[in-house]
Structure 1
């Protein structure tokens, strides 16, 4: 896993494959907007995957001062890079009083006592994991059920994916009341919708 900087932009590659960059963050922001579309007062939000902080920044823009936003990041390097190299990109997000950073697997938080009004999962490239093989359990039936149980009634989960996966959408549909596959652009001026956001609502 390598962080590159070129002409003021940052790029994260894993095994030579570009996973994210500061030049293409529109889909992460759309993900936050979908997740936070109808939050109640004093919302509790869980973000799985810090990345370059674009999702967290948009969630903080959309939530009130009394919100609680938990962020689970498996890789300590990503947390350190946000503090050391990326503050000029998104500011001091991790110092916001609403934010709780958990260095570890989001799967562990999903099995705890906390319940969330919105869950945003951007932990891997797609339901076919690239970053960590253990992420696959989030996309299987047991993981999907675990996510549903971690939501308040009428809560919402949004999964980010680099590609469309009809089989995964069907798996979500078996567990959640309503499922929608939303196409998203990598950056606002893009001509094509290259990413998919799986939106699932609990009854």
Structure 2
């Protein structure tokens, strides 16, 4: 049940951040399919006005994933790894992204938010054979579809896997809904709420991490 709660919260966090940045700059930061496609479209039309923004988002996400890989050193979810420290850094990045947006530095804000998402997405890629991604839902929806197809064909599936994937999907959507409402009230400073949530999750996890080491 703890896994369900944490995975749902992290997905909601990513959905929230992505919705805030889409509302603020019109560009996604929690996944790279959108920025990569827009980059290709802009190059095709020779419209390079947002080239630096898109490259900043993609490089930020990449750097975040690299940082996560250096800290965690494994794609398999296991107790005792440095998830708490990674989440503290993610919260700090989101706070800096909010500060940058407040002072009108959109490119830096986008890059920092993307870096936070890249770091989170690389925290754990698998758990008991199930692929886990919490900052985008393409793979989640795909896996839900495959599991439902297996159920229709009367194959045995592990129900907890299906429920966990649905939990992540619902969390992401709920986070996006909250992000839009928060942006309408506080603008890009709404990122401070996501930073606070990230730090709270880290503080709750750190004692568990210490006991597992």
The interval holding the TM-score normalised by the smaller chain is under 0.3
Larger Rg belongs to: 2
Higher strand share goes to which structure?
1
Structure 1-normalised TM-score?
0.26
Higher helix share goes to which structure?
2
Structure 2-normalised TM-score?
0.25
